[in-house]
Structure 1
Amino acid sequence: MPTLGIDLGGTNARAAVVDEHGQILTSTKVSLTERSPAAVVEVIAQAVAGAMVAAPGVEVRGCGVGAAGQIHRDSGIIAVAPNLGWRNVPLAGMLTERLGRPVRVVNDLAAAAWGELNAGAGRGAHDVYVVFVGSGVGSSIIANGQLVRGGGGVAGELGHTKVVPGGRRCGCGELGCLEAYVGGHNLIALARELLVSGRSTVLAELAEGDPARLTPLTLERAAEAGDPGSREIHERAGQMLGMAIANMVTVLNPARLILGGGVLMNCPGLRRFIVEGVQALASTTSREGLLIAEAELGDDSGLIGAALLGA
């Protein structure tokens, strides 16, 4: 029987009716105009209603939500959601009451990993490590075919491992997180600092002097053009990502490493750093037989995974 999947991002909510094979039957997207918990719940309800109207006569048996943030395992309380500015929001309870059906809330990368495992690049594997680099950095672990969530539900938070003690402040509020140096928002912030300082004529030319035009790809192109400041930021980000993921390969020994997210898909140079880092730094035995694959489901991975987890 189909289930409802919801992908809650920082700017919109998507809802879909998904069958048991991970195929999307209908989907809708509604923009977030406010980010208060009550307003977001109403937007989600609107998206769900739209998806259901587009699937007349289809019964659904459950609902899963993938949301960016640190989420308590059993309660569905979002402890921290930097993109929404939330702390300790009982989203699962609020949605269960509003939608009139049980709702399971999981981290967006857990949902994406489950989607890729069942309907994407992870099919046929039992031990998978998934890393997405987009506006932030997320990862999820699947061991022996099961999602590893940890005692409190926040296992796999690669983006919030520390790489520079006392370093840049991350969106989570802590200092020196990997995400503070390699997440898309932070790469843009670092590029903006470089542009505004006047130390990069190449970056200024590519962005036409407008900081609002900066993207991680702009930074990568400036680095490849030989701009010293851009190259420093880009290489540091790539080396940090490569080492962090190589260490996780050594620890977890996955059969498959799946890479995705807007930054990695649009910045092949950063992806190369990861592949080279894993080959050079992961232990020899841990990378034997390892397959590095690109996520196949694109923006739908979290939507599909949330639905399957909500069944």
Structure 2
Amino acid sequence: MPTLGIDLGGTFARAAVVDAAGNVLASAKVALSERSPAGVVETIVQAAAAAKKFAGVEVVGCGVGAAAQIHKDSGVLSVAPNLGWRNVPLGAMLKARLGQPVRVVNDLAAAAWGEFQAGAGRGASDLLVVFVGSGVGSAIIANARLLDGAGGVAGELGHIKVVPGGRRCGCGELGCLEAYAGGHNLIAQTRELLAAGSSPKLVELTGGDAAVITPATLEQAAEAGDAAAHEVYARAAQFLAVAVANQVTVLNPARLILGGGVLTHCPSLRHRVMEGVQAWASQTSREGLLIAEAELGDDSGLIGAALLAA
């Protein structure tokens, strides 16, 4: 029987009806009109109803991928930075509204499971999946099982500390990898350079308009030889590359899957991560390692969440 997958972001809720093979039968997307827990639940219910109506089939369960740290047994979102939530019982709230079992997982766990079952991870039983988008996330599949840890937060690559006491992260802690290499924070650091007037190339690329800055803007300025931009960019790239290389050393995956909007639109950054793995992961851990690009695009989390619910 098909299941329902939900991808909860900071701006939209997406829902899809997915069959057992990972095929999307129908999907719907609804903007979050408000970010209160009750309001978001209603938005998810609207998206779910639309997807089920378009698919014309019944579903037997629901999986939700959310950018949050989640208690695996309760479905409580302990920290959801994009929504400004702490300790929200999303799983219970959705179960009450949908009248079906609901499994809530981290969005990267959902994406990893989607790639494992229906994308770039097919045929491998040990995967490391790293996405760099608005934040930095990773998930681990070991011996064909999703590794979630005692509290459900295993694989939180974005929240390892790279500068103790450093920049404040959206999670509220200091010095996280995400605070230096996540998309939102790359933009924030680039805007700081623009405001300080320390990067002539950024002024040229943006016309002085901070609103047009993307992570790719920083990469372009750095590669054009702008010293200030290069310092910020090179630091982020090295932190990210070393972190991924260390995970490869620790986990010894058969496959490393890279994805997310920042790595897609910043090809040099992606290349630096790949080079870093080859340079800094232990030799034995990278023997036979295949580095692949995520195949399912924006649907990886939807598909994975639905298949986890199954």
Shorter-chain TM-score bucket reads over 0.9
- For 2:148 and 2:158, the matched residues in 1 are separated by 15
Q: Distance in 1 between matches of 2:102 and 2:212?
A: 39
Instruction: Give how far 1:67 is off.
Output: 0.3
Q: Partner of 1:185 in structure 2?
A: 184
**Residue 53 of structure 1 pairs with residue 53 of structure 2:** yes
- Structure 1, unmatched stretches of 5+, are none
Name the amino acid aligned to 2:52: M
The aligned runs of 1:20-31 (5 Å cut-off) are: 20-31=20-31
Match in the other structure for 1:272: 271
Aligned to 1:301: 300
Structure 1 segments, 4+ long, off by >2 Å, are none
For 1:273, the aligned partner's letter is R
Structure-2 separation of matches of 1:101 and 1:80: 24
Counterpart Cα distance in 1 of 2:198 and 2:138: 34
How far apart, CA to CA, are the structure 1 residues paired with 2:207 and 2:216? 14
Provide TM-score, normalisation by structure 1: 0.99
Residues 191-234 of structure 1: CA distance to partner in whole angstroms, max 9, x if unpaired?
A: 00000111111111111210000000010000010000111111
Structure 2 residue aligned with 1:159:
158
Alignment of 1:141-290 (within 5 A): 141-290=140-289
Task: Tell me the SS of whatever aligns to 1:135.
Answer: coil
Structure 1 residues 242-285: Cα deviation after superposition (integer angstroms, max 9, x where no partner): 10000000000000000000000110111111111100000000
Deviation at 1:162, TM superposition (A): 0.2
Q: Distance in 2 between matches of 1:208 and 1:95?
A: 46
* Other structure's SS at 1:65 match: strand
Secondary structure at the counterpart of residue 208 of structure 2? coil
- Residues 142-185 of structure 1, C-alpha deviations (whole Å, 9 max, x = no match): 00000000000000000000000100000000000000000000
Distance of 1:208 and 1:93 partners within structure 2: 48
Cα offsets for 1:41-70 (capped at 9, x unmatched):
0000000010011122x1211110000010
For residues 83-140 of structure 1, the C-alpha deviation after alignment (integer angstroms, 9 at most, x for no partner) is 0000000000000001111111000000000000000000000000000000000000
Rounded Cα–Cα distance in structure 2 between residues aligned with 1:203 and 1:4: 44
Q: How many residue pairs align between the two structures?
A: 310
User: Which residue does the alignment assign to 2:12?
Assistant: 12
**What is residue 131 of structure 1 aligned with on the other side?**
130
CA RMSD of aligned residues (A): 0.5
Letter in 2 for 1:170: C
- SS across alignment from 1:54: helix
What residue ranges of structure 2 are gaps of 5+ in the alignment? none
Superposed counterparts of 1:54-133, under 5 Å: 54-56=54-56, 58-133=57-132
What is the identity, as a one-letter code, of the residue corresponding to 1:219?
Answer: L
Distance 2:156 2:259 in 1: 15
